[in-house]
């Protein structure tokens, strides 16, 4: 039987190379720090290059790559640059996402398409580009950052966001079915209510916070550090027999 030291060691990412998208702020920056702390060489990707440079200054050895994940050429360049610099990709955290609440009857088809393009199509494109390298090396872990809104409905008018995250969960399962026997694991992390740039207005509104407290069995939103363990678990060998799963970190929201 493995001892405690062996079990803890499975969470380490020494020698691994991890790409984190949407890394310029919020949860993406946090995820990058967590993986770096576990020993990974982290590639930081987002549109705001100056923020990436600042984060790279805090994470020794991290490489910032400014890119727009909605652009095919930028996605390919991100993976190619990583392979050129580090020779491998072991972990991909598909975290970049957009969304603006608007009633479904008012949301334009164009805006719906833009949200799906960033949250779903770009995630597939990056999984494909990084996945090719992972398949060649016979191992890798892809973590798709979905949302509880891809699992259940809500009273928030977020049709495009919910559809894109639901699609991301389905994509996670399909890629698992295709790649599991070839050594590549694909899982989804589904956060509940956490404070990010996207949810900042909600967190500043007393009624909204009262609603979250009433609806979540734990009676509160999540704190950023409460996603650390889940993302590290899915990225590392601690989850070596876990694939095709959706881990909801939501204070019990989807349980009731």
Q: What is the pLDDT of residue 72?
A: 98
Alpha carbons within 13 A on the beta-carbon side of 82: 33
Q: What is the pLDDT of residue 5?
A: 58
Catalytic residue check, 161: yes
The domain 4-249 belongs to what CATH superfamily? NAD(P)-binding Rossmann-like Domain (3.40.50.720)
Q: What is the pLDDT of residue 57?
A: 97
* 31, 124, 158, 161: the active-site residue: 161
Neighbours of 181 (CB within 10 A): 7
Instruction: Say what percent of the chain tops pLDDT 90.
Output: 90
Quick: pLDDT tens for 2-39: 565 577 899 999 999 999 999 999 999 999 999 999 99
Reported for 194-203, long-range contacts at CB under 8 A and 24+ positions apart, including other chains, are 194/27, 194/221, 194/222, 194/223, 194/224, 194/226, 194/227, 195/221, 195/224, 196/25, 196/26, 196/27, 197/25, 197/26, 198/26, 198/97, 198/98, 198/99
Quick: pLDDT tens for 202-232: 888 899 999 999 999 999 999 989 999 999 9
* Spatial CB neighbours of 31, under 8 Å, sequence gap ≥ 6: 20, 23, 93, 95, 145, 227, 231
130-134 mean pLDDT: 98
Please state, rounded to an integer, the average pLDDT across all residues of the chain.
95
How much of the chain is helix, strand and coil, in % rounded to 5?
50, 15, 35
* Spatial CB neighbours of 125, under 8 Å, sequence gap ≥ 6: 69, 72, 75
Quick: pLDDT tens for 37-56: 999 999 999 999 999 999 99
């Amino acid at each position: 039987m493995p001892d405690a030291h062996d079990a803890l060691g499975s969470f380490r990412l020494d020698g691994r190379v991890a790409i984190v998208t949407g890394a310029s702020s919020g949860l993406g920056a946090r995820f990058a720090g967590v993986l770096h702390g576990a020993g990974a060489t982290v590639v930081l990707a987002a549109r705001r290059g100056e923020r990436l440079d600042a984060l790279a200054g805090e994470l020794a050895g991290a490489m910032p790559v400014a890119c727009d994940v909605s652009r095919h050429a930028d996605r390919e360049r991100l993976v190619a640059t990583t392979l050129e610099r580090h020779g491998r990709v072991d972990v991909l955290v598909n975290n970049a996402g957009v969304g603006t609440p608007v009633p479904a009857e008012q949301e334009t088809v164009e805006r719906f398409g833009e949200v799906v393009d960033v949250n779903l199509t770009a995630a597939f494109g990056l999984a494909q580009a990084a996945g090719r390298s992972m398949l060649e090396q016979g191992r890798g872990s892809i973590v798709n950052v979905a949302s509880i809104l891809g699992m259940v409905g809500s009273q928030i008018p977020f049709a495009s966001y919910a559809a894109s995250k639901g699609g991301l969960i389905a994509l996670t399962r399909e890629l698992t079915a295709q790649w599991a026997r070839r050594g590549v694991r694909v899982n989804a992390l589904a956060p509940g209510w956490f404070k990010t740039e996207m949810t900042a207005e909600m967190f500043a509104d007393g009624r909204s916070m009262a609603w979250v407290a009433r609806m979540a069995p734990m009676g509160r939103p999540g704190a950023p550090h409460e996603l650390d363990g889940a993302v590290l678990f899915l990225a590392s060998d601690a989850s070596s027999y876990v694939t095709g799963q959706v881990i909801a970190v939501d204070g019990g929201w989807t349980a009731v």
